[in-house]
Structure 1
Amino acid sequence: MLFSRKFCPMQSKSLDLILEVRNFREKLGQARLASARRDVKRKSVAVQEAEQDLQSSVANHYKSVEKSLRAAEETKDPQARFAVVALALSRGRRAIRRAEDDVNGAHDDVEVAQSTKKQAGRTLRQEAIERIKLERLKDKLEIKERREADMLEEDEFDEVATVMCQPRGRSA
């Protein structure tokens, strides 16, 4: 347990400070979660852009190969034809491979961002649970303080009543 069962007037103040820290940590967690959500959105957009780049790389590759084939048809030398087409195919494949790597990297970034977002959500929930537990403990301590104050008040009243009810000046 956080505190001993015996009453201590500092427990309530200590709990106030702990709750203040918990509230700050919870707000910080909310900011982290919001940041993680924005990061996921931003990286999802990056995935879409990378996929569009891949599509344009494939389209450019086909256009380049078509141009190379037309140029090869005009060339009389068979080795030159082969070299022109092979060069176009090689360049296009490299461009497509780079675009695919970009898409895969963007997907990995999104996965990492989603994992971060999930962890931020878990942490935020845990902070909220801890804060609620501390608030309940604080409420219990306040109730206990009020009860003890009432009991002290009753004891003082009983002492005063006892003194008032005793006969004065008589000695037995």
Structure 2
Amino acid sequence: MLGLVYLEEGVVPHLHKAKRQHFEPLTRANLKAARSEWRKSPKTQFLMDANMEPWAVHVMRYKNFDVKECDLAQLRNVDDRTVFATAWKLRRLLVTHDGDFLDDRLFPFERCAGLLVLPSYGSVSMEFANLLAGASDLISRGAHLWFHTKIVARRDFTIKIRTWERSSGFIAEWDYRIAKGYRQAALCAP
């Protein structure tokens, strides 16, 4: 990240403190370099938790994402710590409905290969499919970028990203809005 300045000193991941950041003004050259770097970055690989619906896997495969189901990774009927450790070992971003993974004491940032927590809708829903596709699309590139990161997708089509900056020990937070096309498609669904 270009021009990142931290305002708080001495924050460690277990304190759950976010800090403010200031960025240098974005120029046309910086934007062009960032887009080029983004396109060249490796694709993110995903691991679906056992609590995810089978049709959610289909949605991600339809979008051409590299998805591994829990059955293929032999993670059916195992505890959360084993699932989390397997995601780290496989270097795959874990996609789940389980908010327990957000507990930084049980599931620390330093052993997190990436986490996407989605709300549960209960049944097949175009709104959920669009939320899943939009959130996954946003994090589909830069596999290494999502290590030590926990992402929460919300029903209002925003995502909250919390990441641990390993070099400085800070936890940074960002809120993003999922692309307008995904939001509008969810509103138009019957």
With normalisation by structure 2, the TM-score equals 0.19
Higher helix share: 1
